[in-house]
Amino acid sequence: MKRIALVILSLIISSHLYPQKKAAKEPVTVIQFELFGRRGRTEMMITSEFAISKSRSEKKFIPMTADKWNALLTAVNHIDLPGLQKLKAPTSRRDVDGALHCRILICTKNEKYESQYFDSGIPMKQLQALYDKIEAIRSAIKDDGDDWKE
């Protein structure tokens, strides 16, 4: 009986001295998108406030709405961020100039998660929803964006 009481007491003491920390998921602060090929490079940076697209010839932006930002975050929440780097591209046409190279980067305050490169239009299936939302924003910047002046 004394042995059981000692075991229980030691468990109680250790749980108070070494409490289990629940892993708090850090909020996403920036989503970046890279697209490049022989003719140039386009880089996008998306925050809760704006989305900016930079290429050699232009720099344009659109303000982000809460709905668009939340839609991006919903797509990000379905991705295993620590495993993002391990996802393999389904095709490799970019290796022979058959497609543009794409990559998605997801940043929190303390971490940066990067995907492998993949062919434009054919992301890994786990990234498809996020990719589609990024492409819609990229299209909106191209069609309706204002010039970015630093």
pLDDT of residue 48: 97
Between 15 and 124, the more confident residue is: 124
d(CA 91, CA 99): 10
Would residue 139 count as lying in a domain?
Answer: yes
32, part of any domain: yes
Residues 6+ apart with CB under 8 A from 107: 28, 29, 30, 31, 32, 113
Residue 90 lies in a domain: yes
pLDDT at position 8: 52
Question: What pLDDT score does 97 carry?
Answer: 87
End-to-end CA distance of the chain: 74
| Domains contained in the chain, number | 1
Task: Give the CA-trace dihedral at 82, 115, 64, 78, to 10 degrees.
Answer: -50
Mean pLDDT, the chain, as a whole number? 87
Residue 17, in any domain of the structure: no
- The angle at the Cα of 36, spanning 142 to 57, to the nearest 5 degrees, equals 50
Domain that holds residue 86: 22-147
Once rounded to an integer, what is the mean pLDDT over residues 75-83?
Answer: 95
Residue 77's nearest CA partner among 125, 129, 35 is 129
Task: Look at residue 3 and tell me if it is in a domain.
Answer: no
CATH of the domain at 76: 3.30.1560
Task: Classify residue 35: in a domain, yes or no.
Answer: yes
- The answer to whether residue 105 is domain-embedded is yes
Residue 10 lies in a domain: no
Confidence of residue 57 (pLDDT cuts 50, 70, 90): confident
The SS3 call for residue 79 is coil
pLDDT value of residue 1: 52
Q: Higher confidence at residue 18 or residue 63?
A: 63
Whole-structure pTM value: 0.81
Mean pLDDT throughout 93-98? 90
Task: Using the predicted structure, report yes or no on whether residue 32 has a pLDDT greater than 50.
Answer: yes
